[in-house]
Amino acid sequence: MRFPTELKKIKYELEKHAQNMGLDFFPVVFEVVEFDEMNAIASRGGFPTRYPHWRFGMEYERLSKSYAYGLHKIYEMVINNDPCYAYLLEGNNIVDQKIVIAHVYAHCDFFKNNFWFQKTNRKMMDEMANHASRIWKFIEKYGYEKVENFIDTCLSIENLIDVHSVNFSSRTQVSESDADARIKVDRLRSKDYMESFINPPEFIAGMRKKKEDELAKKKEMRFAPQKDILQFLIENARLQKWEQDILSVIREESYYFAPQGQTKIMNEGWASYWHSKIMTSKALNDAEIIDYADHHSGTLGVRPGSINPYKLGLELFRAIEDRWNKGKFGTEYMECEDYEEKRKWDKKTGLGMEKIFEVRKTHNDITFIDDFLTPEFCLEHKLFVYSYNNDKNVYEISDREFRNIKSQLLLSLTNFGKPVILVDSSNYKNRGELLLTHTFSGAELNAVYAKSTLENIYKIWQKPVNIHTRINDIKVIMTFDGEKHETSTVQ
Amino acid sequence: MVLSIEQDLNRFKKIVKNKIRKDLNRYISHSELIGKKGKQLVRIPVNEIDIPDFRYDRNKQKGVGQGEGEIGEPIGVGEPEEGGNGKAGDRPGEHILEVEITLEELASILSEELELPRIVPKSEKGLTAEKAKYTGINKIGPESLKHFKRTYKQALRRHILTGSYDPNNPLIVPIQEDKRYRTFKLKLNPFSQAVIFLMMDISGSIGENEKEIVRLETFWIDTWLRANYKGIKTRYIVHEAIAKEVSRETFFSLSTSGGTLISTAYELCYDIIMREHNPLDWNIYVFHFSDGDNWSREDTSKCIRILSDNLLPISNLVGYGQVESSQSGGRFFDELKEEVISRDNFLLSRINSKEAVLDSLKEFFGKGK
């Protein structure tokens, strides 16, 4: 555990500033690591110990190369855990470390207080290590390739969880399905020699059939489309115990990481807001101002064609603070039609600070944008919509209309910019086939990837897998039956 | 902290290698690799390595950006359509990811797949090179090379011997005699060097297709030999009715309408070897590519004479590749085959397409010469 005294002093100072300003965080364990360790940790999603998988190696290779070419540098990693773990890059100058430490405290405050993180496992560091040892156990028993192949299959659908589920329990329980329960048909009492007359076999068989049908119907009716496809598969697919266990490991980790995806803009915005506030009002000395400005502007720079979450989040928090300080909210303000008056509006309400703390507690990126992105904000920050021009093979600016910017931004955040997929039926065509539905929201699936994904789901479901979607604006069902792909149009 | 990222990294590399191995011919006939050298990274598309998921078609997506600009102003180029064209049919999904790999690695995969043996240099002719290694210790030397630990030990020993060492105040002061310095020792390493002669027929009958094949073939010959020898030189000779040595660039771009006298190239090659590459010091590789249409039977006999009397005895390997597109197919190949077949360092190969390059490489290097 490396954390030099020089930084320790800075840490105490910044910790005190952060607390005085109202941030509330888990204890933070800092550690200074070399760039190589940093890349290794980052390639495993921030955790030093995880189950073995080649994709971590691939990510590590990518990070190492782009670090070597000077394309990027990871200043800090912070892990949502109690205590929080934060890794700082060795060799950064003191100003950088100061900024990063302040930044980290705000992240920790966010982890601890934001609603969407409430259900995350705060002992994830340990849990990840447990997952690793579980998977190592399977590797010893079933062989490396077999386990790795199954993990690959599961990862293909790791995003198919219900991120808004309130009742997420990390321990997945496997319930006994009703189908296994014996179907009993009532018989009239009879003596042995009278049995075939009092309870004729055809009649009994008919009754059993009827009961079976009823049960199947009941099951079908009880079946509502669900988003947590991983849970569904754990409960219903014919998997072996170890396969179920791996699938639940993947699911659990997926749920752990999901809130970070749901609050990227807010979380980075919040951390940038506070590092800027703490640095400029408390922690900077005169000699450091240039370095600070350089680093800060690097973090907040924007490139055309992409949104910088640090920048967008930070500016939105500042805008909210400003509006609530000046009372620019509520019916009176909204209904005011005089632009000039609106601009100069200042009721001296002074509620800004209170408001942003409230926002960081209850919102996620989608509600954050939905509630607080205003036409004035879009104009001031020059937001635009871009779209793809087929003829020229370029992306071009297509719109600066507030309504469209907002809806596009919301769309790209919905479900992390991934398609929403539901499981619709486990007995499609009455043949036990799986039917998924892609909830169409304007963009089509990449058919190549969709096919490979269907192949992977087939490996788990072991019966034909279908997905209801659209291709070239036509409603279709794509099917993989274990051997070949088929696409059929539906009305 | 437990960090075993190397394990994951090696696993990833192994997976990439296996994927490449399965589809090696595609990479060998990939012209874009030409011009790369040993440690340089090449980006090659590898099938099915990333994990598929349900995702949107990127090129059809919209997004939000930030910054100046009029409506209609371009902000970025679209990606080329990925395989599959977004059409859904009955083909299995094939998704592609570009992976970076060094050319050396690719060459070693190539050799494993072709089961090419490591090349054994002609003979240990006792050719050696001196190499300095800082393994020695000396009493004199520059301060920058001071060996702290040894110096300290010497000083400590002296202090104890003279009785001036006080365990309660273990102050050690080295004097000049205590100082020890790192110094180099010369080591003699066996050394091997090689020269490759690449000869090509540039007469009128050689078209662009044939040149492309030769270009690929020579690129891989070069790469493979470079993976085996440290010091390597490549010399290029073109010929029609007369032969001359040219630079690498000219080698691939030159074309004339003259006739063909192959013997001129062999003569020039032998001449250069005699003048500049003493066969006792050099491993010599000679490759010749032509469409097999020599001017006369007489000249062919001359070629055979030069080969058997001059070139073959001093070379590790002489290879003749006949590049045959549809219409041509000269007799040179067969004539050589009849006459010089007995030599085991003489190899012939017919290459009729880019895809045949792989087999041809195996024919040339399969014996480990």
Q: Is B92 on the interface with A (CB under 8 A)?
A: yes
The residue assigned the tokens 């399965």 is: B22
Closest residue in B to A421 (Cα–Cα): B54
Distance separating alpha carbons of residues A184 and A212, to the nearest angstrom: 10
Q: Which amino acid, one-letter code, is at A315? A: E
The reply to whether B59 falls in a domain is: no
Distance separating alpha carbons of residues A432 and B345, to the nearest angstrom: 66
Give residues with Cβ within 8 angstroms of B21, minimum separation 6: B109, B112, B113
Shortest distance, CA A387 to any CA of chain B (angstroms) = 4
Q: Is B52 on the interface with A (CB under 8 A)?
A: yes
| Residue among A259, A278, A366, A369 nearest A315 (CA) | A369
Q: Which amino acid, one-letter code, is at A306? A: S
Which CATH number characterizes residue B268's domain?
3.40.50.410
Gyration radius (Cα) of chain A, Å: 28
Residue B84 with chain A: CB contacts under 8 Å: 447-448
- Tell me the two tokens of residue B18: 């296996």
DSSP labels, B202-217: -STT--HHHHHHHHHH
Helix (H) or strand (E) holding B342: none
* Interval A249-259: pLDDT, tens: 999 999 999 99
Largest CA distance in chain B: 98
The reply to whether B198 falls in a domain is: yes
Domain that holds residue B154: 128-188
Give A181's Cβ-side CA count (13 Å radius): 10
SS (HEC) of chain A: CCCCHHHHHHHHHHHHHHHHCCCCCCCEEEEEECHHHHHHHHHCCCCCCCCCCHHHHHHHHHHHHHHHCCCCCCCEEEECCCCEEEEEECCCCHHHHHHHHHHHHHHHHHHHHCHHHCCCCCCHHHHHHHHHHHHHHHHHHHCHHHHHHHHHHHHCCCCCCCCCCCCCCCCCCCCCCHHHCCCCCCCCCCCHHHHHHHCCHHHHHHHHHHHHHHHHHHHHHHCCCECCHHHHHHHHCCCCHHHHHHHHHHHHHHHHHHHHHHCHHHHHHHHHHHHHHHHHHHHCCHHHHHHHHHHHHHHHCCCCCCCCHHHHHHHHHHHHHHHHHHCCCHHHHHHCCCHHHHHHCCCCCCCHHHHHHHHHHHCCHHHHHHHHCCHHHHHHCCEEEEEEECCCCEEEEEECCHHHHHHHHHHHHHHHHCCEEEEEEEEECCCCEEEEEEECCCCCECHHHHHHHHHHHHHHHCCCEEEEEEECCEEEEEEECCCCEEEEECC
The reply to whether B88 falls in a domain is: no
* Interval A307-326: pLDDT, tens: 888 999 999 999 999 999 99
Q: Is A107 on the interface with B (CB under 8 A)?
A: no
CB of A188 within 8 A of CB of A195?
A: no
Distance separating alpha carbons of residues A225 and B1, to the nearest angstrom: 44
Residue A87: C-alpha distances to residues A10, A42, A61, A285 (Å): 15, 10, 20, 24
More confident residue, A136 or B208: A136
Distance separating alpha carbons of residues B353 and B366, to the nearest angstrom: 20
Distance separating alpha carbons of residues A490 and A471, to the nearest angstrom: 11
Closest residue in A to B69 (Cα–Cα): A397
Interface predicted TM-score (ipTM): 0.81
Cβ count near B158 (within 10 Å): 17
Q: Do B8 and A311 touch (CB under 8 A)?
A: no
Kindly state whether residues B3 and B152 are assigned to the same domain: no
Distance separating alpha carbons of residues B49 and B65, to the nearest angstrom: 31
Name the domain count of chain B. Answer: 3
What integer pLDDT is reported at residue A220 of this predicted model? 56
Residue B101 with chain A: CB contacts under 8 Å: none
β A433-439/A420-428 pair status: antiparallel
Kindly state whether residues B354 and B256 are assigned to the same domain: yes
Kindly state whether residues B202 and B166 are assigned to the same domain: no
Asked if the peptide bond before residue B313 counts as cis, ω within 30 degrees of 0, the response is no
More confident residue, A391 or B284: B284
Q: Is B171 on the interface with A (CB under 8 A)?
A: no
Q: Is B71 on the interface with A (CB under 8 A)?
A: yes
Angle between helices B297-306 and B332-340 (to 10 degrees): 40
Residue A385 with chain B: CB contacts under 8 Å: 62-65
Kindly state whether residues B283 and B314 are assigned to the same domain: yes
What integer pLDDT is reported at residue B88 of this predicted model? 36
| Residue among B294, B292, B285 nearest B349 (CA) | B292
Cα dihedral A319→A324→A326→A331 (10° resolution): 110
Q: Which residues pair with B348 in a beta bridge?
A: B320
Helix (H) or strand (E) holding B26: helix B24-28
The reply to whether B57 falls in a domain is: no
Kindly state whether residues B307 and B274 are assigned to the same domain: yes
Q: Looking at chain B, which runs of residues are DSSP E strands?
A: 41-47, 63-66, 74-77, 96-102, 128-138, 181-190, 193-201, 231-239, 243-246, 283-290, 317-323, 346-351
The reply to whether B65 falls in a domain is: no
Scanning A158-177 for CB atoms below 8 A from B yields: 158-160
The reply to whether B64 falls in a domain is: no
Nearest-CB residue to A449 (from B10, B61, B95) = B95
Distance separating alpha carbons of residues A345 and A333, to the nearest angstrom: 8
Q: Tell me if residue B101 falls in helix, strand or coil.
A: strand
Kindly state whether residues B216 and B350 are assigned to the same domain: yes
Which of B188, B222, B237 is a domain's end point?
A: B188
Scanning A65-94 for CB atoms below 8 A from B yields: 65
- Tell me the two tokens of residue B71: 């409506």
Kindly state whether residues B164 and B230 are assigned to the same domain: no
Distance separating alpha carbons of residues A90 and A79, to the nearest angstrom: 18
CB of A152 within 8 A of CB of B51?
A: yes
Residue A158 with chain B: CB contacts under 8 Å: 53
Backbone region of residue B48 per phi and psi (left: phi > 0; alpha: psi in -120 to 50; beta: other values):
left
More confident residue, A431 or B77: A431
* Interval A63-86: pLDDT, tens: 888 888 777 788 889 999 999 999
Q: Identify the weakest region by mean pLDDT among A41-45, A378-382, B326-330, B351-355.
A: B326-330
The reply to whether B354 falls in a domain is: yes
Angle between helices A5-20 and A264-278 (to 10 degrees): 100
What percentage of chain A exceeds 90 in pLDDT? Answer: 52
Q: Is B12 on the interface with A (CB under 8 A)?
A: yes
Q: Do B88 and A485 touch (CB under 8 A)?
A: yes
Distance separating alpha carbons of residues B321 and B307, to the nearest angstrom: 15
Give residues with Cβ within 8 angstroms of A29, minimum separation 6: A1, A83, A84, A85, A86
Distance separating alpha carbons of residues A454 and B143, to the nearest angstrom: 68
DSSP labels, B238-277: EESSSEEEE-HHHHHH--------HHHHHHHHHHHHHHH-
Shortest distance, CA B27 to any CA of chain A (angstroms) = 21
Mutate to test the interface with B, among A308, A316, A377, A397 (most CBs of B within 10 A): A397
Q: Is A49 on the interface with B (CB under 8 A)?
A: yes
Distance separating alpha carbons of residues B134 and B46, to the nearest angstrom: 44
DSSP labels, B130-144: EEEEEEEEESS--GG
Average pLDDT over residues A445-460: 92
User: pTM for the full model?
Assistant: 0.73
Indicate the DSSP class of residue B79.
P
Which of B63, B80, B115 is a domain's end point?
A: B115
| Residue among A444, A442, A437 nearest A468 (CA) | A437
Q: Which residues pair with B232 in a beta bridge?
A: B194
Cβ count near A375 (within 10 Å): 12
What integer pLDDT is reported at residue A455 of this predicted model? 93
Backbone region of residue A255 per phi and psi (left: phi > 0; alpha: psi in -120 to 50; beta: other values):
alpha
Kindly state whether residues B183 and B251 are assigned to the same domain: no
Average pLDDT over residues A223-233: 85
Kindly state whether residues B177 and B260 are assigned to the same domain: no
What integer pLDDT is reported at residue A446 of this predicted model? 87
What integer pLDDT is reported at residue B169 of this predicted model? 87
Q: Do A446 and B78 touch (CB under 8 A)?
A: no
Q: Is A42 on the interface with B (CB under 8 A)?
A: no
Residue A41 with chain B: CB contacts under 8 Å: 3
What integer pLDDT is reported at residue A62 of this predicted model? 84
A107 — pLDDT class (breaks 50, 70, 90): very high
A335 — pLDDT class (breaks 50, 70, 90): confident
Nearest-CB residue to B71 (from A398, A453, A467) = A398
Q: Which residues pair with A422 in a beta bridge?
A: A437
Q: Is B39 on the interface with A (CB under 8 A)?
A: no
Parse chain A into domains and list their residue ranges: 5-114+263-295, 301-413, 419-489
- pLDDT for A171 beyond 60: no
Residue B3 with chain A: CB contacts under 8 Å: 37, 40-41, 48
Sign of CA dihedral B28, B31, B32, B38: positive
What integer pLDDT is reported at residue B368 of this predicted model? 66
CB of B24 within 8 A of CB of B107?
A: no
The residue assigned the tokens 């679209």 is: B78
Residue B8 with chain A: CB contacts under 8 Å: 43, 52-57, 60
Q: Do A386 and B65 touch (CB under 8 A)?
A: yes
Which of B59, B83, B115 is a domain's end point?
A: B115
> What are the per-10-residue average pLDDT scores of chain B (369 residues)?
75 85 74 64 73 78 80 71 37 61 78 72 61 85 89 92 88 89 82 84 78 83 78 86 84 75 90 87 87 82 87 86 70 77 78 81 76
Distance separating alpha carbons of residues A159 and B197, to the nearest angstrom: 57
Shortest distance, CA B224 to any CA of chain A (angstroms) = 26
Kindly state whether residues B201 and B306 are assigned to the same domain: yes
- Tell me the two tokens of residue B149: 């630990």
Q: Do A304 and B76 touch (CB under 8 A)?
A: yes
Q: Which amino acid, one-letter code, is at A157? A: I
More confident residue, A293 or A389: A293
| Residue among A438, A439, A490 nearest A467 (CA) | A438
Q: Do B8 and A56 touch (CB under 8 A)?
A: yes
A464 — pLDDT class (breaks 50, 70, 90): very high
Q: Is A306 on the interface with B (CB under 8 A)?
A: yes
Q: Do A395 and B70 touch (CB under 8 A)?
A: no
Q: Which residues pair with B321 in a beta bridge?
A: B289, B349
Kindly state whether residues B228 and B151 are assigned to the same domain: no
Kindly state whether residues B303 and B160 are assigned to the same domain: no
Sign of CA dihedral A162, A165, A170, A172: negative
